[in-house]
Structure 1
Amino acid sequence: MSETEREAMEYDVVIVGAGPAGLSAAIRLKQLDADCNVVVLEKGSEVGAHILSGAVLDPVGLDTLIPDWKAKGAPLNVPVVEDNFYMLGEAGQVRIPNFPMPPLMNNHGNYIVSMGNVCRWMAEQAEELGVEIFPGMSCSELVFDESGGIKGVVAGEFGKNPDGSKGDSYEPGMELHGKYVFLSEGVRGSLSKQVIAKYNLSDGHEPQKYGLGMKEIWEIDPAKHREGSVTHTMGWPLNANAGGGSFIYHLENNQVYVGFVVHLNYKNPYLFPYMEFQRFKHHPMVADLLEGGKRVAYGARAISEGGYQSMPKMVAPGVALLGCSVGMVNVPRIKGNHNAMLSGIAAAEAAIAAIAEGRSGDELTVYETEVRSGKIGADLKKVRNVKPLWSKYGLTASLVMGGLDMWTNTLGFSLFGTIGHGKSDAEATEEAAKHTVIDYPKPDGKLSFDRLTNVAFSFTNHEESQPAHLTLKDADVPVKSNLPTYAGPSARYCPAGVYEFVQEEGKDTRFVINFQNCVHCKTCDIKDPAQNIVWTTPQGGDGPNYPNM
């Protein structure tokens, strides 16, 4: 806890993050007790500004939270009308039939949505119930009580100089205290990471696994647009270099979401996830769809992929982790928003019951029990082996074994039990000497684009006079260790061009951090082989400003 003196405000529940989990919790708290004093703190400039998801939404969470969501104008306007699965080769594709796939893979009843817009609508519902929502408020510190439990957060600190000292316009922010604190920061949140480490919440669980998801919005030729169409692909261009695949979702207004996911447990440090995405768009099937269209937005974020066996303990004294702070993505379905909403509902119900009993600052064990044994646990347990099978045996074998395992799990048993993940994604990176450089074609400026050009379409902005929110544990590691051993992978794994190794004539190589470019994906915090890069939150309102993502 810092020595800076701050004013404090008291609430029943303090929620960090206005994503689907945090907003669901806020709404459910007020539904159960109109007098419950709830605040939601969001680091983005507005609700939805930092929300990026595929997204095909399973409405089960929304059905539970707001059953009349359709009458209330929720922006779920495009029901899925067709599902397509393809295995790609460099010049063609093979359609994978739908009939052998487990029922859980069917998107009937789901909707193609902008989760940013869904969250904006949910924020309106929360505010109508009396929830206080403060966007542009980064939460930079945890506040502890005398017993070591968490009683609040520090939010709204502004005006630090680049060296971390207090500038002339320094504002210390406020402490917001709650009987309970909910952390719904999304993947690899800075406060959640601290809580997991402090209370050893990952002990006894598999390491969390991640993917990097990159997404563009395209406006395409109306003659090629098929509203409600959902397409997923695997294979080329990744092939054996990495796990992952693509999604193409046709939403309204002749727009298409084009996305690409690369699993971050790849071995070859020369792999360039962003360029794999750009190369993918030159596949004949994709190029034909996009030809004559234009890209209107870009963004990226990490995805938690560890699933059931990687979920850490979710509660500690005074605090609960929600949604992607835990990792609740169903990997084969490429869906986690429904589970995030259900987790918010469960946390709210546990907190209201505890407060009614006169409790505060303890562990909401009922919440964790509900997550693991209720709808979320059932959803994730059925698919728990798909990701480790893919990692261990490759794409083709995992399609067969993973599909079989999902089928048997629908009947209540698994042929494989529960398979572990083993290494973290950082540990999976191998030395450059074991691999060859991958030659990527230069972007053509029509279908494919360089990183900095695309980052401009994320509408990212950071105040340059603040301290860099990307810090190094050891400033010597990038040049002295990561560059000679791993060929400087940070220059490639970042989808926003934040990291550079600069060689000037007659001078030593410098490691440059262009934090202004950061789209808050957290990949660097995950994939760095030395775990030397630490992502922290910048001042409130900074970062991407995603439209319609």
Structure 2
Amino acid sequence: MERESMEVDVLIVGGGPAGLAAACRTMQLAQEAGEELTVCVVEKGSEIGAHIIAGTVFEPTALNELFPDWKDRGAPLNTPVTRDDIFLLRNEDKATKIPNAFVPKNMHNEGNYIISLGNLCRWLAEQAEALGVEVYPGFPASEMIIEDGQVKGIITGDMGIARDGSKKDSYMPGMELRAKYTLFTEGTRGHLGKQLINDFKLNEGKDPQHYGIGIKELWDIDPEKHEPGLVIHTTGWPLNESGSTGGSFLYHLENGQAYVGLITDLSYSNPHMSPFHEFQRLKLHPEIRKHLEGGKRVSYGARALTKGGLNSLPKMSFPGGLLLGCNAGTLNSSKIKGSHSAMKSGMLGAEAVFEAIKEGKTGEEITSFQERFENSWLYKELYNERNFSPAMHKFGNVGGGAIAFIEQNILGRPLPMTFHDTTPDYATLKPADQAKKIDYPKPDNSLIFDRLSSVFISNTNHEEDQPIHLKLKDPSIPIEHNLPKYDEPAQRYCPAAVYEVVEAEDGSGKKFQINAQNCVHCKTCDIKDPAQNITWVTPEGGGGPNYPNM
């Protein structure tokens, strides 16, 4: 079969907040100018929102600009923040509430909302379609079309390929989508974004990018304990015991529900550490468990987040398109927020692309984007907080928090020097025999759960007879290198039990097993593998989690 081909003016890869904001803004500009443009969004999830997961306390700054009448349009921002508490968890049963006067200003949440980011994206898709945008869920962008040094579009994934690479009766080749400009908004560690950064050398002169893994559950909680609008953040235990940095969150949203989660920086050094089990252990702390006891876990999910900040932000333009949102790394770590910044980057990208098309350009690098970006509140926000992530990595949560407090609350501006973290996250692991082993509590199926039951309630599904979408550059490395040196950390950093070291069926010793059906598309393996041996690529369209209300 020959590939079908379609041409559009603007192609957007990824139906998250950055991509949908870009789509809406492009069509708004076209309509204001009386121009006709074809704008298309492709999304690998089975529906818009299926793969979207974040905290989420949402700052409406960008939404106010994009749709000033969002309340009248029914945007799902239903729970304003009413109370904002931060605790230092000193050990497994003691906590100290940090007085508001000592909390860095960016961590205050007045005027923000507790939302489901997936539901906001579903709503944004409705607005985009009403403006004339074509939205295609279930169509992963598997490869780029690069001709004459320019990105000319993408090819969607083939359907109906068997695990052995043969074509099944259901085989359908992917479609070629060509565009004047392509915007890549795949989210953290997008596999095409990763290629763009390497191919066009977009990160030259930058610090290496840094990441965290966020693991989250949605709970129905006891109505007597429910306080809509309550926001709780913690730092300290349990991550401090494993020598890691990060923190937890617990948010009371509407309908008697609460989000609870843990963000673990992927710069951790102990290969015995398991972010999933650290999160489960967190829920035993009295300050957290009091909200959850008597409740029921409803959903589970995990996703890496890009948190290096401005020092790690790659160049965002290249011939034929732009790299936007968390695919580039626009999250503001000091606010623990990336949705408003992703949306703003998408809107800036839309304005730059529309201007280029109006001038008759096709495929040229949009050099004006950088100036547009640097003149925006987004750049100012990221510039002012450029020290936050590297300071946290260098000095830990307490020392890094103190620097943030000095900058934000005392000086009202960043320190004159800039901190850097030049060690990539994959290069931080100690050998296993030099690191402390960690004894994690067993599941009680009340507060603490195992990974397989967790994956089950993420509604993750993949067509079983398809090529494994987690590619090993060298299949020998997990057993011959990572196992003896690091006790193969993939067994623990994956929050979905995708990777196992098991006995080979023929009795020849250990083998590395990949349970690709479990994958929740968090991308942690692509980031943290110490040999950089694992590459995440798109599975068949529609595969992966289907998150409700996350």
| Distance change (3 Å), C-alpha of 1:370 and 1:437 | same
Q: Helix, strand or coil: the match of 1:72? A: coil
Q: Which moved more, 1:147-156 or 1:227-236?
A: 147-156
* Equivalent residues of 1:212, 1:264 under 8 A apart: yes
| Matched letter for residue 462 of structure 1 | H
Structure 1 residues 409 and 29: CA distance shift in structure 2, 3 A: farther
Matched with 2:340 is: 338
* Deviations, residues 260-293 of structure 1 (Å, cap 9, x unaligned): 1100000110001100000000001211211110
Instruction: Give TM-score scaled by structure 1 length.
Output: 0.97
Q: Which of 14, 18, 23 pairs up with 1:21?
A: 18
Q: How does 1:189-228 map to 2 (within 5 A)?
A: 189-228=190-229
Instruction: Give the alignment of 1:99-498 within 5 angstroms.
Output: 99-145=101-147, 147-240=148-241, 241-407=243-409, 410-411=412-413, 413-415=414-416, 417-498=417-498
* Matched AA of 1:485: K
User: Paired residue for 1:45?
Assistant: 46
Deviations 1:211-234, CA, capped at 9 Å, x for gaps? 000000000101101100000000
Structure 2: which amino acid aligns with 1:168?
D
Query: What percentage of residue pairs aligned between the two structures are identical?
Result: 52
> Matched residue of 2:22: which SS?
helix
Partners of 2:317 and 2:146 in 1: how far apart?
15
Q: Distance in 1 between matches of 2:382 and 2:111?
A: 19
Deviations 1:222-261 (A, max 9, x none): 1101100000000011115100110000000110000111
The 2-side partners of 1:128 and 1:151 are apart by 27
SS of the residue corresponding to residue 457 of structure 2 reads: helix
User: Structure 2 counterpart of 1:275, which letter?
Assistant: H
Give the conservation status (yes or no) of the 8 Å contact 1:311–1:327.
yes
* Contact 1:102 1:406 survives alignment (8 Å): yes
Structure 1, residues 493-542: CA drift from partner, whole Å, max 9, x if none? 00000000002584310100000000000000000000000000111100
**What SS class does the counterpart of residue 458 from structure 1 fall into?**
coil
Whether contact under 8 Å (2:104, 2:401) holds in the other structure is no
- Tell me, yes or no, if the aligned pair for 2:270 and 2:429 is still in contact at 8 Å: yes
Hey, what's the Cα distance between the residues in 2 that align with 1:367 and 1:23?
Answer: 18
* Contact 1:138–1:157 (8 Å) recurs in 2: no
Contact map agreement 2:107 2:336 (CA 8 A) in 1: no
Shift of 1:430: 1.5
- Is the 1:81–1:108 Cα contact (8 Å) retained in structure 2? yes
Which position in structure 2 is the counterpart of 1:31?
Answer: 28
Equivalent position SS for 1:239: helix
Aligned twin of 1:543:
544
Q: CA deviation at 1:396?
A: 1.9
- CA-CA distance at 1:164 after TM superposition: 2.7
CA distance, structure 1, for counterparts of residue 387 and residue 107 of structure 2: 15
Paired with 1:369 and 1:453, the residues of 2 have a C-alpha distance of: 48
Give the letter aligned to residue 70 of structure 1. Answer: K
Q: Distance in 2 between matches of 1:85 and 1:307?
A: 23
Q: Residues 392-435 of structure 1, C-alpha deviation per residue, up to 9 Å, x if partnerless?
A: 12222222123213346633x414x2111111000111111211
Shift of 1:362: 1.1
Asked if 1:69 corresponds to 2:70, the answer is yes
Aligned match of 1:11: 8
| Equivalent-residue separation in structure 2 for 1:54 and 1:350 (angstroms) | 30
CA distance in 1, matches of 2:375, 2:487: 44
Q: CA deviation at 1:92?
A: 1.5
Alpha-carbon distance in 1 for matches of 2:30, 2:313: 29
Give the 3-state SS of the residue equivalent to 1:347 in structure 2.
helix
> Which runs of 5 or more structure 1 residues have no equivalent in the other structure?
none
Structure 1 stretch displaced more, 173-182 or 387-396 = 387-396
Cα distance in structure 2, aligned partners of 1:322 and 1:163: 35
Match in the other structure for 2:79: 78
For the 8 Å contact 2:247–2:263, the answer to whether it is kept is yes
1:116 alignment partner, SS class: helix
Q: AA paired with 2:123?
A: W
- Partners of 1:414 and 1:373 in 2: how far apart? 21
